[in-house]
Amino acid sequence: MYQFQFHHLCIQTDCYEQSLAFYQDILGATLLQETPNFHTRDFNTWLQLGDFAIELQTAKAGQPLIQMNKHMNGLAHFCLLTADVTAAVQMIQARGYKKFQTKNQAIIYQVEGSHLAKVIAPEGTIIEIRDSVAL
């Protein structure tokens, strides 16, 4: 059987500077390459987060982006695993970022035996942070 390997996730943003700062300064991603004026986009940028790559890009010229919401087809969120969700949330907050999705007014809650938090990136991408994943 043929097997694929996950390479990257592409995220479009209409607030490039804020999104880039979030992925680098808040989540700790490493900037691999930043390409200005990429196929009518202001920027196309590659970031590394552990074994995971993010391609961050601005919209094509003259094509405004539509805000993501939970009622759209396609990607709803992506998930990062960590050993300690509470420590991860505290680190994100200590770095000055406060935009979290809550459930019953709680930032961290239990789902299927694991702790879970959702941070919302400046462009609207929902990033789930969990300490384990029940399959």
Give pLDDT tens digits for 36-64.
Answer: 999 999 999 999 999 999 999 999 999 98
Assess if residue 113 is contained within a domain. yes
Inform me whether the pLDDT recorded for 70 exceeds 90: no
The number of folded domains in the chain is: 2
Q: Could you tell me if 53 and 88 lie in one domain?
A: no
Q: What is the pLDDT of residue 16?
A: 97
Assess if residue 24 is contained within a domain. yes
Give pLDDT tens digits for 82-124.
Answer: 999 999 999 999 999 999 999 999 999 999 889 999 999 999 9
Q: Could you tell me if 49 and 88 lie in one domain?
A: no
Q: What is the pLDDT of residue 66?
A: 85
Assess if residue 65 is contained within a domain. no
Q: What is the CATH number of the domain that holds 41?
A: 3.10.180.10
Distance between CA atoms of 125 and 27, rounded to whole angstroms?
13
pTM of the predicted model, to two decimals? 0.90
Residue numbers of the domain that contains 100: 78-130
Using DSSP's 3-state secondary structure scheme, residue 131 falls into coil
Q: Could you tell me if 82 and 41 lie in one domain?
A: no
Q: Could you tell me if 17 and 49 lie in one domain?
A: yes
Using DSSP's 3-state secondary structure scheme, residue 16 falls into helix
72 Cα distance to chain centroid: 17
Q: What is the CATH number of the domain that holds 124?
A: 3.30.720.110
Query: Do 124 and 133 contact (CB within 8 A), yes or no?
Result: no
Using DSSP's 3-state secondary structure scheme, residue 90 falls into helix
